[in-house]
């Protein structure tokens, strides 16, 4: 049976208000009475009701974290950074996986507000204006929807796309394809812009037949690579919008007998742990995932603690090319 403040008041013979003040550390209770109440609370195994306390204090010390794909190793690294920074500052995390679904994301945003979380950190899956309706601090991580003024922590995706394509072209590959995720997702479009920028810089034409979008998963990379490699004039390299797509491309290239990197080059994006495995050795664009999570949590908690500050923080981090064994 759950022990309540009323039960402690009955056992100690003092008022409900006195017990409440003693347990919350508020003034107005003499020291002897406070010690007696605290001792009885321990004796009765009293557990404070966080929801009830939150209704009184208007604070739950919980941050909602909404990410689009918990199976992609990129996002757990971000989540770990968020959780570590939040824990250091006395906050807990409520994790939501939207699975790249706008409907799920909309539901989670509603649930998080109903649960009275103090703030939200989110990788948005849409460019809808729903985000403008959130009345608590919200920080975007990894991507930014259009027309919002919130704080964000992102990588320079255009620069990353440029570096990836530049690496392939400078390695001697001539027909470089781009395989993206959902075309409406802004990060994929930005990485595509970087790809096109590198082609222009090195005087290569942009061939729309070499640009295909699917999902941000390995199966999509595998299937699209199969289509590209079965054309009369196939690519000799692929820049994939993330490492998970790139893993699917690598599998398909090996299945059709291509030598990687001799005949076929691949560059991914994110530098997930799998990319460094000896059997894979994926050349990729690295993002400081853990640090991004920590920065986002610190910004979000800063905004929770100082609601009078209206200045949003725009943090754009620099990508880094990591050369391994899938390019010459």
CA dist 85 and 92 (Å) reads 10
Q: Do domains 5-48 and 62-156+289-318 have the same CATH topology?
A: no
Comparing CA positions, the residue from 202, 203, 201, 212 lying closest to residue 234 is: 212
pLDDT tier at 25 (50, 70, 90 boundaries)? confident
- Do 208 and 183 contact (CB within 8 A), yes or no? no
Q: For the domain 62-156+289-318, what is the CATH code?
A: 3.40.50.2300
Which burial class, exposed, middle or buried, applies to 39 when counting CB atoms under 10 A from its CB (0-12, 13-18, 19+)?
A: exposed
Pick the CATH number of 5-48 from 1.10.630.10, 1.10.260.40, 1.20.210.10, 1.10.569.10: 1.10.260.40
Which burial class, exposed, middle or buried, applies to 1 when counting CB atoms under 10 A from its CB (0-12, 13-18, 19+)?
A: exposed
pLDDT tier at 57 (50, 70, 90 boundaries)? low
pLDDT (0 to 100) of residue 50? 56
pLDDT (0 to 100) of residue 309? 62
Query: Please, what is the average pLDDT of the chain?
Result: 92
Using one digit for the tens of pLDDT, what is the confidence trace for 60-106?
A: 899 999 999 999 999 999 999 999 999 999 999 999 999 999 999 99
Domain map (residue ranges) of the chain: 5-48, 62-156+289-318, 157-287
pLDDT tier at 58 (50, 70, 90 boundaries)? low
Strand partners of residue 239: 178, 267
CA dist 78 and 95 (Å) reads 12
CA dist 140 and 122 (Å) reads 5
Using one digit for the tens of pLDDT, what is the confidence trace for 254-307?
A: 999 999 999 999 999 999 999 999 999 999 999 999 999 999 999 999 999 986
* CB-facing half-sphere around the CA of 231: CA atoms within 13 A: 12
* 234 vs 127, higher pLDDT: 234
Q: Calculate the alpha carbon distances from 302 to 65, 91, 118, 299, 309 in Å.
A: 16, 12, 11, 5, 9
| pTM of the predicted model over 0.85 | no
Structural element, H or E, at residue 119: strand 119-122
Maximum CA pair distance of the chain? 88
* Domain 157-287 sits in CATH 3.90.550.10: no
What is the DSSP-derived secondary structure letter of residue 270?
A: B
Residue 188 backbone class (left: φ over 0; alpha: ψ -120 to 50; beta: rest) = alpha
Of 19-28, 45-54, 228-237, the range with the lowest mean pLDDT is: 45-54
């Amino acid at each position: 049976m759950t022990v309540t403040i009323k039960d402690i008041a009955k056992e100690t013979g003092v008022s409900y208000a006195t017990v409440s003040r003693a347990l919350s550390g508020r003034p107005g209770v003499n020291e002897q009475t406070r010690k007696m109440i605290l001792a009885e609370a321990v004796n009765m195994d009293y557990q404070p009701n966080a929801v009830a306390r939150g209704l009184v204090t208007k604070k739950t010390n919980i941050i909602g974290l909404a990410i689009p794909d918990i199976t992609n190793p990129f996002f757990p690294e971000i989540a770990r950074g968020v959780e570590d920074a939040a824990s250091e500052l006395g906050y807990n995390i409520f994790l939501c996986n939207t699975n790249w679904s706008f409907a799920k994301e909309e539901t989670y945003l509603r649930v998080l507000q109903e649960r009275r979380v103090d703030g939200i950190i989110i990788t948005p899956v849409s460019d809808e204006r729903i985000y403008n309706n959130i009345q608590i601090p919200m920080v975007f991580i990894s991507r930014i929807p259009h027309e919002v003024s919130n704080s964000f922590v992102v990588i320079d995706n255009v620069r990353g796309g440029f570096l990836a394509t530049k690496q392939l072209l400078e390695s001697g590959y001539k027909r470089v394809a781009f395989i993206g995720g959902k075309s409406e997702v802004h990060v994929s479009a930005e990485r595509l812009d970087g790809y096109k920028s590198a082609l222009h810089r090195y005087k290569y034409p942009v061939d729309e037949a070499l640009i295909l979008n699917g999902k941000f998963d390995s199966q999509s990379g595998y299937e699209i690579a199969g289509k590209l490699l079965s054309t009369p004039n196939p690519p000799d390299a692929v820049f994939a919008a993330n490492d998970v797509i790139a893993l699917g491309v690598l599998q398909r290239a090996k299945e059709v007998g291509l030598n990687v990197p001799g005949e076929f080059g691949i560059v991914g994006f994110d530098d997930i742990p799998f990319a460094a495995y000896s059997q894979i050795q994926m050349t990729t664009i690295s993002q400081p995932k853990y640090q991004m999570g920590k920065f986002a949590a610190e910004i979000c908690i800063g905004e929770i603690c100082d609601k009078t500050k209206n200045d949003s923080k725009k943090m754009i981090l620099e990508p880094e090319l990591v050369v391994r064994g899938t390019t010459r």
